[in-house]
Amino acid sequence: MRIVKLLLAMALAVSAGSVFAQTVKIGFITSYSGLNGNLGPYMERAVRLYLKLHEKELGGVKVELITRDDTGPNPDKAKQLAQELVVRDKVNLLAGVIFTPNAMAIAPIATEAKVPFVIMNAGTAVITTRSPYMVRTSFTLWQSSYPLGQWAAKKYKTAYSLVSDFGPGHDCEEAFSKGFEEGGGKIVGKVRVPLQNPDWAAYMQRVKDAKPDVLNVFIPAGKTATAVMKNFSDLGLDKAGIKLIGPGDITTDEELPNMGDVALGVLTVHHYSAGATRPANKAFVAAWKKEYGQNETPNFVAVGAWDGAALIVDAIKALKGNMDPDKTMEFFKHWKSANSPRGPISIDPETRDIIQPEYLREVKRVGGQLVNVELETLGAAVKDPWKEFQKKK
């Protein structure tokens, strides 16, 4: 009888997650190679650093990060990796993903397998509508580009839009144009350029010939941003008096040193700058440099992953390591943080997208370094505008 009681007590304790240390497995898919393959390591480093600094809070629950390279915008590869992680590795959660097409390809797997998927970058608005098991801790292009269009209309009369021809580029074009035109501005030209190796010189010449007041650009951050800067300057658009603006992807923090002075004065709207002086950001940047070296700088990809890791750690604590998918999603939907490096953030329970501040920034030289200096807060708690407009339809 005593043995039966003991076994029963043990079984109950195990199901409550309080006796044996458990392991929460995260299938982490990002880009370590291919287009802008330098971005994946920012995501992984952020997650690893957050876990290292907070593992003591987990009450003995271990977190195992199983990393996979999707090789850039490659939905078939991303889907195959997600399938393997779910079926073979039996992960409790999926996380990561720089590129929109990859996030879209993983959506049905998250739904079918009921595996919560924390999107740490991919920013096309529609993504999170594709599975109830998705939550996003990064951004949408609408969050930056709609307020950018509204702001630009107050200063400029004409604009040209140049975007990469895939989901986030289309969103940037649509959101910027809507904000700009509602404010009385005129779009004098739009072009969608191939995602891989566009003929930058030819496109920049077209823009120069159209003589807009401003050129709004979206390209995926990373090395592509530096190619845009170089061609903008080489073709003399700056000297022709055209102002370069865009979402923060075009002045991504880690590339500023490679861009040089051509980036000076570029105005962007975004949720994160490594140069922000908020105490939470200073602490984050200091922790990053301490771990990875004084010359290393985090970027917005790192912040999406840092806050994604915070969301996961908080869920593990709340659920004591028992990651029932529906309970996990319920927790995610009501998560908030006052301590994000970008300012106060929360998850919108209706859309599972992040609500966050958006800042107008200008690239300036501060202490010898190029920095995205935050000039103004355009919105303190911006919801994805695309979903807000959809509701009204």
Q: Where do contacts with ligand PHB occur on this chain (CB under 6 A)?
A: 98-100, 122-124, 168, 220-221, 249
Please answer whether residues 284 and 340 qualify as being in contact, where contact means their C-beta atoms are separated by less than 8 angstroms.
Answer: no
Q: Please, what is the minimum distance in Å from the beta carbon of residue 220 to ligand PHB?
A: 3
Q: Please, what is the minimum distance in Å from the beta carbon of residue 381 to ligand PHB?
A: 21
Nearer to ligand PHB, 214 or 225 (CB): 225
Q: Please, what is the minimum distance in Å from the beta carbon of residue 122 to ligand PHB?
A: 4
Nearer to ligand PHB, 98 or 302 (CB): 98
Nearer to ligand PHB, 36 or 92 (CB): 36
Q: Provide the angle, in degrees to the nearest 10, between the axes of the packed helices 167-182 and 385-392.
A: 70
Supply 232's token pair. 């903008």
Q: Please, what is the minimum distance in Å from the beta carbon of residue 154 to ligand PHB?
A: 26
Q: Please, what is the minimum distance in Å from the beta carbon of residue 249 to ligand PHB?
A: 4
Q: Please, what is the minimum distance in Å from the beta carbon of residue 166 to ligand PHB?
A: 7
In this structure, the number of other CB atoms found within 10 A of the CB of residue 390 comes to 13
Strand-by-strand arrangement of the 93-96 sheet: 62-69, 23-30, 93-96, 117-119, 134-136
Quick one: 133 exposed, middle or buried, by C-beta within 10 A (0-12, 13-18, 19+)? buried
What is the rounded distance in angstroms from the CA atom of residue 195 to the CA atom of residue 18?
Answer: 49
CB-based closest residue to ligand PHB: 220
Q: Which residue has the tokens 């010189």?
A: 201
Nearer to ligand PHB, 220 or 275 (CB): 220
Nearer to ligand PHB, 113 or 250 (CB): 250
Quick one: 60 exposed, middle or buried, by C-beta within 10 A (0-12, 13-18, 19+)? middle
Nearer to ligand PHB, 22 or 100 (CB): 100
